[in-house]
Copies of this chain bind each other. A is one copy, B any other.
Amino acid sequence: MSSKPILVLTTGGTIDKQYFDALSEYQIAESVIATVLERSRVEHPVRIVELMRKDSLELTDADRDLIAATIASAPEDLVVITHGTDTMTDTAKVLASLTGKTIVLVGALSPARFTESDAAFNLGMAFACCQSAQPGVWITMNGSVFDGLRVRKDRAAGRFVAA
């Protein structure tokens, strides 16, 4: 199988949320993705770029253009994007025009800093998906590999479903 290097772009979202006692609130903090990869004994060549720290509801068109431009100009063909779950599918649509890249959007419903989090599993899915799947845009959540253009988040149920 390919050992082609993977570009990991972090954009924020629940996966990187931290609790700040002094504020009595959560905020998106320094990304824990590198820590998760180290703990998971990842030896695959990876380049991590912390692009922004935003709740996905705050992402603008300009933010999405920046994500697309970063991928287009990157030497890597395999891309994992950590992203808030609420507008993940909007970003997928913007990235669909990119060719020759296998792009996987991934996030978490519970912050990676929690004991009971889906973050490590989801990141593992994203790493395997970008190595195994055809070029295109994919979303890996709730144990499934979804076509990034044919999935929606059921916010009330707290899960992604094929659309």
Contact = CB atoms under 8 A, between A and B. Distances in A.
Interface of A: 1-3, 14, 17, 19, 21-22, 24-26, 36-37, 39-44, 46, 55, 57, 85-86, 109-111, 113-118, 120-129, 131-133, 138, 140, 142-147, 150, 155-156, 158-159, 162
A143 to B, nearest CB: 3
Contacts of A3: 144, 162
Nearest to A2: B145
Contact of A158 (B21, B113, B129): B21
Given A19-B110, A41-B159, A110-B19, A145 B131 contact: yes
Nearest to A46: B143
Given A19-B110, A24-B86, A39-B117, 18 more contacts: A1-B144, A2-B145, A17-B19, A19-B26, A21-B109, A24-B57, A39-B121, A41-B109, A41-B118, A41-B142, A41-B158, A46-B143, A113-B115, A122-B124, A124-B126, A127-B128, A128-B132, A129-B131
B21 A144 contact: no
Contacts of A156: 22
A46 B159 CA distance: 16
Contacts of A17: 19
A159 to B, nearest CB: 5
Contacts of A159: 41, 43
